[in-house]
Amino acid sequence: MEKGAVSGVEPGTGLTELLPQGGDRLRRAAEFVAVPAFALLVAAALFSAVLLGMGQSPLAFFELLWRGAFGSAFSWQNTLQRAAPLILTALCVALPARAGLMVIGGEGAFVVGGLAAAIAPLPFLGLAPAPVLLALMAAAGMLAGALWIGLVGVLRHRRGVNETISSLLLTYIAVAVLSFLVEGPLRDPATPNKPSTHPIGADVMLAPIPGTSVHWGLVAGIVACVLAHLLINRTSTGFAIRIAGGNPRTALGQGLPVGKLIVLCCLLAGGAAGLAGFFDVATVHGAANVSLVAGYGFTGILVSFLARHNALAIPPVAILFGGIGAAGGLIQRRLGLPDATVALLEGVIFVTLLTSETLYGRFALFQPRAARPRP
């Protein structure tokens, strides 16, 4: 055998020919990074034009955006604090998306999860230790969120109801239920100005990560993303989910339980958003009130889309949008811009991101290379 030759492989064969699948994967991965990055640049350019039309300096705006999001240790902690619920609500979109569903009701699951978490420990205050109460709250929040989005899956499976419409309508129902309960049967008389449920008490509140002001929801969100990635990409159930999402007819033809997979994805998705609601109550508010309707579920839609519903890509994207939200107050004070400025920026990003979907597969640079013909 010639020196340097590999058994069964002719000398001079390149690495790309030896590992064509690896090279193709790298090109596809590069495309999944390049296209969203281009969309962000276009969004920045469009928003800069808006700022110029308002008589503001784009350079000053983005400098303040960076400073308020990542310019100091305090900014970083504020950013991570805001990113924590975005990670979990983004999973509420990403998991059903792998099964071919477009669920946008994470806000509703977040609200009912927070409401359930705030109510569950009240009968046991003073009777059970704080760790037990926190576990009860987490379980109640996850269960409520899972059932809320699980209903979306059941309606899709049993009745063919469009999941986008049903999940959006259930969000408005969740907000209405929250308002009714905190202003009526569950209202604490000691909250005349801001109706809320009875507080869970400082002893039950979950302490932040030691040495920081960031709550444990960030860690829970990252762990949930890793588990979701393993489920989708390393298990037979995840393989079945991907087949069902790619071609439901083929999945049915192969005997896969498509309906059960749809419901399973919705249950897991709702549980993630409900867990985010629990952390919001247990670490920030200490009770359920209208502050739960903070828009985390809607921003989570944008996070999931920018991450292309990839669970491992969700945390860094959530940190990006957490930073945008964290810098909003600084931008408003320094430039005198309205509150809606940050929301406008997020909207521009969303539109450009959706438009960029048409770019996939259009550049030869990212396409798989043709196999070298054998002599």
For residue 12, what pLDDT is reported? 41
Range name among 161-170, 239-248, 338-347 with the lowest pLDDT average: 338-347
Chain centroid to CA 21 = 30
In which residue are the tokens 């940190």 written? 319
> Residue 120 contacts by C-beta under 8 Å, 6 or more apart in sequence?
136, 137, 139, 140, 141
Backbone phi, psi, residue 6, to 5°? -105, 140
Which tens digits make up the pLDDT trace of 8-40?
Answer: 444 444 434 433 455 667 877 788 888 888 999
The chain-wide mean pLDDT, for the chain, equals 89
Which tens digits make up the pLDDT trace of 223-243?
Answer: 999 999 999 999 999 999 999
For residue 372, what pLDDT is reported? 41
Q: Which residue, among 236, 231, 200, 187, has the nearest Cα to 95 in the 3D structure?
A: 231
Range name among 12-16, 217-221, 349-353 with the lowest pLDDT average: 12-16
For residue 254, what pLDDT is reported? 86
Other Cβ atoms less than 10 A from the Cβ of 49: the count is 12
pLDDT band at 113 (very low <50, low <70, confident <90, very high): very high
For residue 31, what pLDDT is reported? 82
Rg (CA), the chain: 24
pLDDT band at 198 (very low <50, low <70, confident <90, very high): very high
For residue 32, what pLDDT is reported? 81
- What is the Cα–Cα distance from 14 to 30, expressed in whole angstroms? 21
More confident residue, 249 or 300: 300
Residue 343: is its pLDDT beyond 50? Answer: yes
- What is the Cα–Cα distance from 73 to 217, expressed in whole angstroms? 19
| Structure token pair of residue 325 | 């939200």
For residue 21, what pLDDT is reported? 53
pLDDT band at 73 (very low <50, low <70, confident <90, very high): very high
Prediction pTM value: 0.87
Residue 93: is its pLDDT beyond 50? Answer: yes
| Structure token pair of residue 216 | 């444990």
3-state secondary structure of 293: coil
> Residue 52 contacts by C-beta under 8 Å, 6 or more apart in sequence?
58
For the chain, give the percent of residues with pLDDT over 90: 74
Which tens digits make up the pLDDT trace of 268-318?
Answer: 999 999 999 999 999 999 999 999 999 999 999 999 998 989 999 999 999
pLDDT band at 1 (very low <50, low <70, confident <90, very high): very low
Listing DSSP states for 211-279 in one string gives TSS--THHHHHHHHHHHHHHHHHHSHHHHHHHHHHH-HHHHHHTT--HHHHHHHHHHHHHHHHHHHHHH
pLDDT band at 107 (very low <50, low <70, confident <90, very high): very high
| Structure token pair of residue 77 | 């902690």
DSSP code, position 11:
T
- Cβ atoms of 278 and 257 within 8 Å: the answer is no
| Structure token pair of residue 147 | 């059932």
For residue 22, what pLDDT is reported? 55
For the chain, give the percent of residues with pLDDT over 70: 92
